Amino acid sequence: MNDIDIESLKGIANQLRIHSIQATTAAGSGHPTSCCSAADLVAALFFGHMRYDPKNPHFYNNDRFILSKGHAAPLLYAAWAETGLFPVEDLLKLRQLGSDLEGHPTPRLPFADVATGSLGQGLGVGVGMALCARLDKLDYRTYVLMGDGECAEGAVWEAASLAGIQQLNNLIAIVDVNRLGQSEPTAFGHNLDVYKKRFEAFGWRTEEIDGHDIEEIVEVLAAVGLGQQPLVVLAKTLKGAGISFIQDKEGWHGKPLSKEEATRAIAELQPSAKSGIGVSIPAPHQLAAPKNDAPASYPPIAYKIGDSVATREAHGSALLRIGEVDPRIVALDGDTKNSTYSEKFSRKFPNRFTECFIAEQNMVGVATGFSTRGKVPFASTFACFFARAFDQIRVAGISMANVKLVGSHVGVSIGEDGPSQMGLEDIAMMRSIAGSAVLYPSDAVCTEKLMEQMASHKGIAFLRTSRPKTPVLYNNDEAFPIGGAKILRQAADDKVTVVAAGVTLYEALKAADALKNEGIGITVIDAYSIKPLAKDLIRSAAQKTRNVVVTVEDHYPEGGLGDAVAGELSMDGVKVHKLAVYELPHSGKPEELLAKYKIDAAAIVETVKRLASA
Amino acid sequence: MNDIDIESLKGIANQLRIHSIQATTAAGSGHPTSCCSAADLVAALFFGHMRYDPKNPHFYNNDRFILSKGHAAPLLYAAWAETGLFPVEDLLKLRQLGSDLEGHPTPRLPFADVATGSLGQGLGVGVGMALCARLDKLDYRTYVLMGDGECAEGAVWEAASLAGIQQLNNLIAIVDVNRLGQSEPTAFGHNLDVYKKRFEAFGWRTEEIDGHDIEEIVEVLAAVGLGQQPLVVLAKTLKGAGISFIQDKEGWHGKPLSKEEATRAIAELQPSAKSGIGVSIPAPHQLAAPKNDAPASYPPIAYKIGDSVATREAHGSALLRIGEVDPRIVALDGDTKNSTYSEKFSRKFPNRFTECFIAEQNMVGVATGFSTRGKVPFASTFACFFARAFDQIRVAGISMANVKLVGSHVGVSIGEDGPSQMGLEDIAMMRSIAGSAVLYPSDAVCTEKLMEQMASHKGIAFLRTSRPKTPVLYNNDEAFPIGGAKILRQAADDKVTVVAAGVTLYEALKAADALKNEGIGITVIDAYSIKPLAKDLIRSAAQKTRNVVVTVEDHYPEGGLGDAVAGELSMDGVKVHKLAVYELPHSGKPEELLAKYKIDAAAIVETVKRLASA
């Protein structure tokens, strides 16, 4: 890179600053100073260093760029506008309802692979992309621009650790150390050495630079990819850099400049500003495209009715079975693969499996990264530990990411390990994700078929599996579409409709038998798809039992199956009586706990009798 | 410590191993090998090093011990039994429904301050305890026993960072580096140097020892408290140590020994085993007890009806006001204190405020730590970022911890910042916590009164606050008990009951005015307490409007206000029509977004008209 290019980059950086200031002042909100600190870094990355096709941001071998410090969105938008992807005039529509240039980036924009704005999440996604590049034998690199404040997030260190272990030398983190957080200075100010020691301890190569010295930036970027370690560039910067009366001052986080201030700032920056349009951008290498085609069908299954198989184990069998023919499938686990049975897949396809160790936030981030590259990642751990990654799952929802989560060991039916290991709020959590599917199989056949459905489905899907073995209920050719339910018992004079799923379905069936002996009929429904719920089927069944419904679930009463049925059907007059785990449970034997917390057959019988005679 | 003591400790360690093996074999499940690796460490800590009253585990100046690797519960139980707190015979009741010696420790036991078992959470709680010791001028120390596997959790590094920044030399972490995870060896095996570099980079003093060499353990513990840094003891251990045919072998995680194996193991350990009963335990110093008494009352408030005040700001005012007279109150924030307004408190009471930086998991852990010492911690950040700490909140629920969370910036009404900053699933999350209270004020008076209620309430409480300013609705002497609701509009011929909270309450009031002009009456209820819900009040109002209820909430439809009302009242025939944010929202102006997602007055009017004529 010659001197002319350096000058050009300096000019482009100032042009990006001007756009960021103008857009946020026009919007009346936003984070211009957070844009200014990173403008030189972004100019150097986008206008000469990164290899990508600016007309086709989705090209499979483009270098990837993740703006982990998502509040600097106007800077990202300005960079892409200056590549010519869309008119720079559009930047003034920032944060308007009619424009996808939102307050923080989302994949509504073609150049944002993932939503950012919840800090500390970009690096984990970057790890997933870097692992995917290796798997697909592509040479794109993944760049993650982070703030110094977000380095307080543990998720950053989960990602850093795995990147170090995996020796991801195709992953580059750039930390914009502008020393000022939202409400006060960060703990370490401009002491880059703290960050250097931390990243080194996590297995990274580190470089410390002046983040406003384009020559230094260009020089350090030229050495990207050397050695076997991931690289972090620690850039000392000033918040608001380039605006003499604002830079490095407290009280300027998330604050647009007034019109007068903007005019003054732009007057300072304009003389040296330069458009990026027409600047030559290195093209990505033309390597073979990854094979990410879904198969026409999956191999058949062969269970026998009555066989005893835990749904968590059927999950493992399904993962292996569909993974055999579906090259899109990759799997991840958090050191529970012998309990979730994802180890079946990991043994057969070690290259397509990522052991994330005990770091669930990062596991979901890595899965999201894989999903942005056309893979269908299945991540598994105990259901309760997905709570650890709720924010990553939330953001995957905003990213409309194609991520599949499988949570095992749900409810009190795990028994002796006690409440810390019981998934009792996972349905509530996963239902609340925008666009999610929440699935809860009772037997092995249903589990296997739902795994196929998940692989075909677009978006976030969650499968809830149980620890105990349960008998196979369904024939191997039974279909289980997402949004469906199965009526297992129904007769003309039924008094109550019982809706169950998972282990409680067997309790409902036992209750049906017991009640039949006493002359009381109940309709039993397997609600294996909790979201979307088979509303019409359940409503219609309920209407035949005087609208009286009992739901039974191995979950807390809030936000689970009972709330789903009531929330969707009460408007039609359906009356839902919820059996659920109404108190903090204790350790004990599974059957003891189902009885103690009144979600067993006896509790169903008692409730039905009360309602049948009412 | 003399040679006799060393020999004695070696014997006690083996006795603890024997108990752990016997208890897990009797239970038929559990983690004996994870107990054995840490037995020497625990023997040295409990029988000569730590200062505490074994007859009074709650004494305020006892050293604290947190078993972060909670699956080694039998070891902890054995240690306390050997101090004489309860009969050693009880250890054989491990994991039984009738015993509080559960699979993982919970505060049902007097010596467990917090539930553990979700890995990586102990250190954050320990930071809270260590900060509290400093605040209360007590000299107890906090010891946290961790596994090496759990050091992959980011929460560990959030806690480590804050401990380093705060120079907590009264905090001691001990890492039991037994190199074997659940499903495979950890990434770093017995390479203690990796952990050493990481903790050093996070500001800790480090010591590397052989975790089975009692002399070395005793020696390194003798130097606890030196210098200004927190101390981590990195102990190289063998999983299953002491059992010749199991130690350091894979495949032994979470697996009890068979009866035969147990007999063989005990035969190896028995000859050198020694009871801890009667061993002299250093007494805690008798320092002044902390003042943790609730005040008789709180100072009055003085708002004027119609004043425009954001509930987030009223939260800050309340925190300061009640904090002035209530010494139990401490506050924490995650670098959002200028947005949540907790900065009002932080400025006045810097010693009682902890800036946790952008690390929400640790913030909740630290708050839990404070709560175990008699404080009433209020932790605040944007509501959506509490999703980051869901697992810590879940475990705080299992701990029955007295933690107060305040989440601001809820819903689409934040406007331009976009979905990543909007709390749209926080009600679902917080309702699902065992024993939680979920509160959602609409105006400043209600906010202030609910803050008082939260301070008096025992357990986890969540307050949901909004970004926009809203008019004061209530008189300063209005009472807002947890579990209550307010009827703001009601007339004999009302057609529909509208239940709202927060910003949507004002939309409901606007709708009532508009509908009144058209001759349609609606009942309007302020459901400021979503959990517990004012069931009787809402049911009774609904019955007067033909059981037709419309809920309106700035939240996703799953698990929120609408599901709460339907889930609790559909059984009584109440029909709930939910207005909520049914799709992934976009950036825009608050009022535009309320309209677009159909939770504004116009949407309420439209829905009521449809239902009134049905």
Q: Between A152, A198, A556, which is nearest B434 by CB?
A: A556
Q: Is the Cβ pair B104, A421 closer than 8 Å?
A: yes
Tokens for A143?
A: 């760049």
3-state SS class at A499: strand
Cα(first)–Cα(last) distance of chain B, in Å?
A: 84
State how far the Cα of A229 lies from the Cα of A233, in Å rounded to an integer: 13
- What is the spatial distance between Cα B161 and Cα B171, in angstroms, rounded to a whole number? 13
B396-B533-A565 Cα angle (round to 5): 90
The answer for A 115-144 residues in CB contact with B (under 8 A) is: 115-120
Residues B497 and B525: their CA atoms lie apart, in Å, by 7
Residue A611 φ then ψ, to 5°: -75, -30
B559 at A interface, C-beta within 8 A: yes
pLDDT at B613: 85
Measured on CA atoms in the order B181, B182, B185, B187, is the torsion positive or negative?
Answer: negative
A587: contact with B, CB 8 A cutoff = yes
Query: For the segment A140-164, what is each residue's pLDDT rounded down to a tens digit?
Result: 999 999 999 999 999 999 999 999 9
State yes or no: pLDDT of B2 exceeds 80.
Answer: no
* % of chain B surpassing 70 pLDDT: 99
Chain B CB contacts of A358 under 8 Å are: 119-120, 149-150, 152-153, 181
In this structure, the number of other CB atoms found within 10 A of the CB of residue B192 comes to 19
Q: Cα–Cα distance between A205 and A198 in angstroms, integer?
A: 11
Q: Measure B441 CA to nearest chain A CA, in Å.
A: 20
pLDDT per residue as tens digits for the range B332-386: 999 999 999 999 999 999 999 999 999 999 999 999 999 999 999 999 999 999 9
Q: Do B181 and A357 touch (CB under 8 A)?
A: yes
pLDDT digits (tens, 9 = 90+) for A24-58: 999 999 999 999 999 999 999 999 999 999 999 99
Pick from A390, A405, A424 the residue to mutate for testing the B interface (most B CBs within 10 Å). Answer: A390
Catalytic positions of B, written as ranges = 360
Closest B-chain CA to A336: B183
- What integer is the mean pLDDT of A375-397? 98
Residue found under tokens 């697996």: B255
CA distance B569 to B573: 7
Q: Does A189 touch chain B (CB under 8 A)?
A: no
The answer to whether A115 touches A106, Cβ cutoff 8 Å, is yes
Per residue in B511-554, pLDDT tens? 999 999 999 999 999 999 999 999 999 999 999 999 999 999 99
Establish if A243 touches chain B: CB-CB under 8 angstroms.
no
What is the arithmetic mean of pLDDT over A129-141? 98
Cβ <8 Å between B182 and A339: yes
B19 residue type, one letter = H
| Per-residue tokens: A439 | 């699935």
Give the pLDDT band of residue B614 (cuts 50, 70, 90).
Answer: confident
Among chain A residues, CA nearest to B393: A387
The angle, 0 to 180 degrees and rounded to 10, between the axes of the packed helices B192-201 and A192-201 is 160
CB pairs under 8 A between A and B: 348
Q: Do B390 and A391 touch (CB under 8 A)?
A: yes
Q: Which of A 503-542 lie inside 8 A of B, CB atoms?
A: 531
Helix (H/G/I), strand (E/B), else coil: B377: strand
Q: How many angstroms separate the CA atoms of B285 and A29, rounded?
A: 55
pLDDT digits (tens, 9 = 90+) for B235-271: 999 999 999 999 999 999 999 999 999 999 999 999 9
Residue B114 with chain A: CB contacts under 8 Å: none
What DSSP element (H or E) covers A526?
Answer: strand A522-526
Of residues B29, B360, B418, nearest to A104 (C-beta): B418
Q: Which two tokens stand for residue A74?
A: 């106007």
Among B residues 141-180, those touching chain A with beta carbons less than 8 Å apart: 149-150, 152-158, 161, 165
Measure Cα distances from A14 to A42, A241, A250, A464, B309 in Å: 11, 10, 22, 51, 39
Residues 6 or more apart in contact with residue B166 via CB below 8 angstroms: B127, B130, B131
Q: Look at residue A594 and tell me whether its pLDDT is greater than 50.
A: yes
pLDDT mean across residues, chain A = 97
Report pTM.
0.98
Q: State how far the Cα of A404 lies from the Cα of B85, in Å rounded to an integer.
A: 47
What's the CA gap between A275 and A525, in Å, rounded? 64
Q: How close A212 gets to chain B, by Cα (Å)?
A: 25
Disruptive mutation site among B100, B388, B553, B555 for chain A (greatest number of A CBs within 10 Å): B388
Q: Can you spell out the DSSP letters for A56-113?
A: -TT-TTSPEEEESSGGGHHHHHHHHHHHTSS-GGGGGGTT-TT-S--SS--TTSTT-S
**Could you tell me what percent of chain A has a pLDDT over 70?**
99
Neighbours of B340 (CB within 10 A): 28
C-beta of residue A257 within 8 angstroms of C-beta of residue A23: no
Q: Which two tokens stand for residue B201?
A: 């980079």
Say which of B157, B563, B592 has its CB closest to residue A563: B563
pLDDT digits (tens, 9 = 90+) for A456-501: 999 999 999 999 999 999 999 999 999 999 999 999 999 999 999 9
Q: Is B591 on the interface with A (CB under 8 A)?
A: no
Match 């190289």 to its residue by tokens. Answer: B236
- Phi/psi for A423 (5° steps) reads -75, 110
**Cα–Cα distance for residue pair A144/B181, rounded to 1 Å:** 30
**What rounded mean pLDDT belongs to chain B?**
97
Name the residue of chain B whose CA is nearest to A382's CA. Answer: B118
Q: Which three-class secondary structure state does DSSP give residue A532? A: coil
Count of Cβ atoms closer than 10 Å to residue B452 Cβ: 18
Instruction: State whether B161 and A578 contact (CB < 8 Å).
Output: no
CA nearest to A24 within chain B: B416
Other beta carbons within 10 angstroms of residue B294's beta carbon come to: 14
Residue in chain B closest to A583 (alpha carbons) equals: B434
Q: Is A491 on the interface with B (CB under 8 A)?
A: no
The pLDDT, as a whole number, for residue A2 is: 45
Mean pLDDT of A533-539: 98
pLDDT in tens, B78-104: 999 999 999 999 999 999 999 999 999
* Encoded tokens for A565: 């049925």
- B345 interface with A at CB cutoff 8 Å: no
At B233 the pLDDT is: 98
Task: Show residues of chain B in contact with A185, CB under 8 Å.
Answer: none
- Residue B326 contacts A where some CB pair is shorter than 8 Å: no
Mutate to test the interface with A, among B167, B417, B577 (most CBs of A within 10 A): B417
pLDDT score of B1 more than 70: no
Sheet holding A486-489, edge to edge: A486-489, A522-526, A496-500, A548-552, A575-579
Chain A residues whose CB is inside 8 A of the B198 CB are 198, 201-202
CA dist B19 and A612 (Å) reads 51
**Token output for A495:** 């008094």
Q: What letter would DSSP give residue B152?
A: G
Tell me what pLDDT residue A1 has.
Answer: 44
pLDDT at position B477 is: 97
d(CA B510, CA B246): 72
Nearest-CA distance A291 → chain B (Å): 31
Neighbouring-strand partners of residue B283: none
Average pLDDT (A208-222) is 97
In one-letter notation, the amino acid at residue A261 is E
| pLDDT score at A614 | 76
Whether B4 shows a pLDDT value over 70: the answer reads no
Each residue of B560-609: pLDDT tens digit? 999 999 999 999 999 999 999 999 999 999 999 999 999 999 999 999 99
What average pLDDT score do residues A311-335 get?
A: 98
Chain centroid to CA B229: 26
Which residues in chain B are contacts of A104 at CB distance < 8 A?
A: 417-421
Whether chain B has a CB inside 8 Å of the CB on A598: the answer is no
B558 closest CB neighbour out of A70, A149, A432: A432
Q: Which of A360, A448, A553, A568 is catalytic?
A: A360
Q: What is the per-residue burial (b if ≥16 Cβ within 10 Å, else e) of B132-148?
A: bbbbbebebbbbbbbbb
Contact A432 B419 (CB under 8 A): no
